[in-house]
Structure 1
Amino acid sequence: MTELLECRDCGHRTFYEKHRCPECGGAEFDGVAAGTGELLSVTTVHVTPDGVREPNALGLAAFPGGANVVAQLDETLSIGDGVRLVGDRELRATDDGPLRGVRLAAVE
């Protein structure tokens, strides 16, 4: 998913699926384009579970409307860089096949 979920009642946006809006308690959401976010923090995990790349670079990015996303980084990025969500990337290997999801990539 490279979209954010926007609450129909108050417009607050979130990335992670929720049953209720964390701002107003609304229960209905629409998918909206994520747009450009700002990278707030980066970290590198050097010891990872089986099947997860090592080292594993992670970032926290803020997107318009209040959505914060933690995801793997596609490349070397710095705090303050503009980022976008890039979908359908292999995040790790599992017994049932690859686990796919989004990563944060530089705005082109």
Structure 2
Amino acid sequence: MIVYKCINCGEETFERRAVCPKCRGEEFEEVDEKLGELVVETTLYVTPSSFPDKYTIAVLRAGTTRVLVRKE
């Protein structure tokens, strides 16, 4: 997974941004991080009508960035 790191302050974000949310810097570098660490995982049993009856979501850590994912 690619995360974007601000050259000025080091803040990492999951999505590409024009301006850093922390320092307002405008230059970023791409950092290739592995999604290696599971932070939390849970199964949802009460879901919206257009979703399956149950599904599992997890928060993974990539460097200092956390990502919410739906597990299949």
- Shift of residue 19 of structure 1? 4.1
Matching residue of 1:22: 21
- Of the two structures, which has the highest relative contact order with CA contacts closer than 8 Å and spacing of 6 or more? 2
Compared CA separation, residues 28 and 48, structure 1 to 2 (3 A): farther
Matching residue of 2:71: 73
Aligned residues: 71
Matching residue of 2:34: 35
State, as a whole percentage, how many aligned pairs show the same letter.
Answer: 30
- Following the alignment from structure 2 to structure 1, what is the Cα–Cα distance between the partners of residues 69 and 36? 12
Structure 2: runs of 5+ lacking an equivalent: none
Can you list the C-alpha shifts for 1:2-21, whole angstroms capped at 9, x where unaligned? 31111122222111344432
Structure 1: runs of 5+ lacking an equivalent: 75-108
Q: Which has the higher strand share?
A: 1
What is the one-letter code of the residue matched to 2:71? Answer: L
Q: Which has the larger radius of gyration?
A: 2
